[in-house]
Each structure stands twice: as structure tokens, then as C-alpha cells.
Copies of this chain bind each other. A is one copy, B any other.
């Protein structure tokens, strides 16, 4: 029968460690020792069992805040997400990244507190001040982020996801340069020599500069002269790729291949190529970068460099967990990329 008083479900009173102690007829200290598997604490097998049984029977779950207060650690890491133009492709892979971070955090016994910031500001300092997080992962950092600089200088545990050459802080990123190099090597192997490059963003962005450097690396290694006229800057979106490819085909009509340092930009570039009457890959080979989910459905399906989003998140999470455990990891982790060959590239005729 439903007790009088209403339809609201009775909220069973939470069991505390004192309840467990009472039920197991031991002290709270013993409960704490048993449940936290404290090494070196002499606990008899019999007592241990009694405590564990009592905890189970009462449905005991330690109270997070109490534990944080007493233990001096929140067991929580903060994830600062900054929405900025260079993130558009990362956005597409955001879900993957989050899962990566989350799974590693869990392995280390941490939860993830999210702090989404608008591009033009917003503070996360308070997360640190209020001791809500033990460490931070800052994604898409800007070099003019004073909060970040201050926190790093104070020695607060931070891992940056992305690149921030101006600041000495451990970071995790994809190996943009090596990835770009791989992309261009693929084109070289197909016999192309006049290879254009459309950047993913203005070169002030390190990711863009790095990818361009990878392009040059590949050319240098193959002893192909670098021609500045073959490089056009894109800017995050497909529209920029469209105009960039138009430019390129006008000023360097003899290119037989183009490395476009972003799938989204490449999407626009493909269209421009089509409109200029160049068949891809028959007349023009195109390699992208990122491998967004839609890339396999481009027309033609895009050969590209896969950005390991989940692994990236996992690496960031792991690095922070390691750091919090006192094990200092490497200062900079670069994740390898992978060439995914589809139908937008072909041997030079």
C-alpha cells in the first residue's frame, strides 16, 4: 500500500559510513580502512568481510563532497573548452574527444567538470580557486590567455590540448607536421611534382604553420623545389577553400595535386575544382586533413589524414592523471596520424 502523504517516492535516507560501522560493529575508522583498502592496516579477514557485507546491505556510497573535503582532493578534472574559429573541424570530432578524456579520467578515478567558454572571454579561474578541480585540460588555448599563464606559473597542474609554443606547459596534440608530410608524400609517390597547398587557417595559427611545414618537409625530402606561388591560405571553412582553389588554379594552372590542410576547406576546394572543369582525381588529386565523418562521403570520397580524436582526448586525460599522480610525463606528446586513401587521389597521368 502506498503510505499516506502523497505520490512522491520516498527518498531512502542515505547510509553514511557511521551506519556501516554500526552495522558491522566496528569503528568508523575501520570502515574507512577496509573500504579504501588501506595498505599496512591490520584488518582481519573476518572483520573485512563484515564491513563489506554491511556496506553492501546498506547500499553505502561515500559522499563525494565529504571525501573531497577530508581528503583535500576533488577527484575531478576540469575541461576548459574554448569555442574558436580554428576549432570548427575539432568541433566535428568533439564527441570523440570527450569520450577519450572521459574514459581515461575514469580509469584514474576522476570525473570531468566541463567549462565551456565563449571565444571572447569567460573565466575558469574560479574552478581552481574553489578547489573544485585538481587539474585542468585546456583545449584550444590562446597565447593571450592570462588566466592560463598565471595558473601555469603557480604550478597548477594543467595539460594543454593543442599547441602553445610561448608557454612552458605540458601539451598534447596531433603531429600536424608529420601528418601533412605523409599527405604530401602520398602525392609525390603518385608521381605528382607540381603540388599546391591550401592551408587550413591563417599561418598565425600554429596548426596551420605546422601543416605547411610538413608540406615543405615532404617536398624537400623529394628534392622538389618549394614554390610560394603554390601556397594559398584558407580560413577554416569551405568557402575559403572554394576561393583558395580558384586562386590556385588561376595562378598555377599546372598543378596536378593539392594538399588541403583541412577536410572542411577541402570540401570547398573540391567544388571549385569541379567548377573549373578539373576532374578529381583524373585531372587533379586532392588530399585533406582531419578525416571528419563526412569525408568518406565527399564526391569523390576524400583521401585524407585521420586525426585520432578519441586518442587525442585519451592522451590528454592520461597525461593529466599521471601528472596528478605525481608521475611527471613528457612535456609534449604528439600523436601520430594515419593516411586514409580514398578516391580523391590518383597517379599523375
Contact = CB atoms under 8 A, between A and B. Distances in A.
Interface string A48-78: 0000000000000111111111000010100
A79 B114 contact: yes
Contacts of A61: 126, 129-130
A63 to B, nearest CB: 5
A142 interface: no
A83 B14 CA distance: 31
A56 to B, nearest CB: 13
A88 interface: yes
A113 B112 contact: yes
A116 B76 CA distance: 14
B69 A98 contact: no
A239 B299 CA distance: 12
A11 B267 CA distance: 49
A64 B126 CA distance: 10
A81 B67 CA distance: 26
A113 B116 CA distance: 11
Interface stretch (A89-97, A280-288, A328-336): A89-97
Interface in A293-349: 293-294, 296-297, 299
A238 interface: yes
A8 B98 contact: no
A2 B169 CA distance: 21
A77 B114 CA distance: 10
Contacts of A69: 63, 65-66, 69
A66 B299 CA distance: 57
Contacts of A132: 64-65, 111
A87 interface: yes
Contacts of A113: 76, 111-114
A116 B131 contact: no
Contacts of A27: none
A175 interface: no
Contact of A91 (B65, B94, B264): B94
A341 B136 CA distance: 42
A154 interface: yes
Given A65-B132, A102-B115, A112-B113, 14 more contacts: A61-B126, A65-B69, A68-B68, A81-B95, A83-B95, A88-B293, A94-B95, A98-B116, A102-B116, A111-B114, A113-B113, A113-B114, A242-B297, A294-B294
